[in-house]
């Protein structure tokens, strides 16, 4: 039952964000309104299909690639949010200025710029895809989603992991949300067209402009990330060993990581990063949002020891080094590597692992030494 609730939550998120993402597409809504009220009408459906497709693609990339990229390059993510928010605010201000700078004839004829849409359905589809995908407000919106949606899902359903297959529900939900929005929007236009003519467009433009202003301000606020960044370990009983129920709370005492989320939590406090053992038994480093940063080299049935400020990490079967703040200092690239000693580490790209009882040791082939910057030294 919980699994189906988890799938439903992903679908619901997609539908919600599909509807909400129509707000930064304010100009698209305006084109729909103008087209509906203009005579003769133009073929807008292929254009909207292009808009909806890029919307769902961005939503999927939120979890695969985009979210990880923004996590690794937080300055870029914050910049996208701030400058995107400013761009959204600018669109709103321009819209309001155009609406209030002069008087408007309520009986004026509605005219739409026909060059927005192309005769060829394929060309019109492509134009909607490109115009929407390059919209700064659209990019900023999905940047904000990338910062938050995956965290919400992890916190709501800590026992389930998002993967390639169940995440398909998210873009499906986005498509449903987009169709719901544009369907409702068209219905409202149909009802309102009986009473309004040109003045209806003015009302829609004003509403969208204020909406863009509000969204821009919220996007900038969210980009500064005021979330509590300190987690404190909690456990059942006094013995701190694998098998003991452990989790994390924030400074307010709210449970952030429940006991069932990991096999064991090693770090007493998470500020920059913490070490946990996941349900598959793998040691991983996570940040305060529970984003996986890297896999950690295991030594004596626990995480690798910190030596001269660095410890070993693993990625795609290769060994590298990270510092005490969780920053990757030397990219994983070696088959074998020993802890740093006297400013050097013995490494090799060709070696054999041997098992003796519970201990594993490395037999180096063609080894060399590197310094703390990853440079080869004597």
Delimit the domains of the chain by residue range. Answer: 2-223, 228-295, 297-378
pLDDT for residue 244: 83
Predicted confidence (pLDDT) per residue in 63-95, tens digit: 666 666 666 666 766 776 677 778 778 877 877
pLDDT for residue 209: 76
If one compares 259 and 339, the residue with the highest pLDDT of the two is 339
The whole-angstrom separation of Cα 318 and Cα 332 is 5
Residue 369 near residue 363 (C-beta atoms within 8 A): no
State the maximum Cα–Cα separation within the chain, in Å, rounded to a whole number.
89
Most confident residue range from 37-41, 212-216, 333-337? 333-337
For the segment 192-211, the average pLDDT, to the nearest whole number, is 65
The whole-angstrom separation of Cα 12 and Cα 67 is 19
pLDDT at residue 42 above 60?
yes
Most confident residue range from 20-34, 128-142, 316-330? 316-330
pLDDT at residue 152 above 60?
yes
pLDDT for residue 131: 75
pLDDT at residue 175 above 80?
yes
Percent of the chain at pLDDT exceeding 90: 16
Token pair for 216: 């821009």
Q: Is 12 exposed, middle or buried (0-12, 13-18, 19+ CB in 10 A)?
A: middle
- From the list 338, 333, 263, the residue with the least C-alpha distance to 302 is 263
pLDDT at residue 118 above 60?
no
The whole-angstrom separation of Cα 359 and Cα 53 is 53
- Output b/e per residue, 299-319; b: 16+ Cβ within 10 A: eeeebbeeeeebbbbbeeeeb
pLDDT at residue 147 above 50?
yes
Which strand (E) or helix (H) includes residue 270? strand 269-270
For the segment 270-295, the average pLDDT, to the nearest whole number, is 87
- From the list 143, 155, 151, the residue with the least C-alpha distance to 215 is 143
Q: Look-up: residue for tokens 């064991």?
A: 264
pTM: 0.55
For the segment 278-291, the average pLDDT, to the nearest whole number, is 86
- Mean pLDDT, all residues of the chain: 78
For the segment 314-341, the average pLDDT, to the nearest whole number, is 91
If one compares 32 and 248, the residue with the highest pLDDT of the two is 248
pLDDT at residue 139 above 60?
yes
- Return left, alpha or beta for 196; rule: phi > 0 is left, psi -120 to 50 is alpha, else beta: beta
If one compares 126 and 344, the residue with the highest pLDDT of the two is 344
Confidence of residue 112 (pLDDT cuts 50, 70, 90): very low
């Amino acid at each position: 039952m919980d699994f189906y609730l988890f799938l439903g939550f992903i679908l619901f998120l997609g539908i919600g964000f599909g509807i909400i993402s129509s707000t930064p597409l304010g100009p698209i809504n305006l084109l729909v309104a103008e087209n509906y009220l203009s005579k003769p009408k133009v073929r807008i459906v292929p254009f909207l299909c292009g808009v909806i497709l890029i919307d769902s693609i961005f939503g999927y990339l939120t979890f695969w690639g985009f979210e990880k990229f923004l996590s690794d390059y937080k300055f870029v993510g914050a910049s996208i949010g701030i400058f995107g928010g400013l761009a959204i605010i600018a669109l709103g201000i321009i819209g309001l200025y155009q609406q209030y700078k002069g008087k408007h004839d309520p009986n004026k004829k509605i005219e739409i710029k026909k060059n927005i849409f192309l005769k060829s359905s394929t060309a019109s589809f492509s134009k909607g895809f490109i115009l929407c995908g390059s919209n700064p407000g659209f990019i900023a919106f999905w940047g904000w989603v990338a910062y938050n949606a995956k965290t919400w899902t992890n916190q709501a359903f800590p026992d389930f992991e998002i993967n390639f297959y169940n995440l398909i529900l998210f873009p499906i939900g986005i498509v449903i949300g987009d169709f719901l929005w544009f369907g409702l929007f068209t219905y409202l236009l149909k009802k309102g067209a009986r009473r309004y003519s040109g003045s209806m467009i003015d009302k829609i433009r004003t509403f969208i402009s204020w909406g863009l202003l509000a969204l821009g301000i919220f996007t900038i606020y969210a980009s500064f990330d005021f979330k509590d960044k300190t987690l404190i370990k909690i456990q059942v009983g006094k013995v701190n060993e694998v098998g003991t129920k452990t989790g994390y709370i924030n400074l307010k005492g709210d449970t952030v990581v429940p006991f069932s989320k990991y096999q064991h939590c090693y770090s007493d406090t998470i500020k920059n990063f913490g070490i946990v053992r996941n349900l598959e038994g793998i040691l991983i480093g996570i940040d305060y949002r529970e984003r996986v940063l890297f896999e950690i080299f295991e030594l004596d049935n626990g995480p690798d020891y910190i030596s001269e400020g660095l410890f070993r990490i693993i990625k795609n079967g290769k060994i590298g080094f990270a510092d005490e703040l969780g920053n990757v200092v030397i990219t994983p690239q070696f088959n074998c590597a020993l802890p740093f000693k006297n400013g050097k580490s013995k490494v090799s790209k060709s070696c054999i692992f041997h098992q003796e009882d519970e201990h594993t040791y490395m037999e180096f082939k063609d080894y060399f030494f590197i310094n703390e910057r990853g440079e080869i030294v004597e």
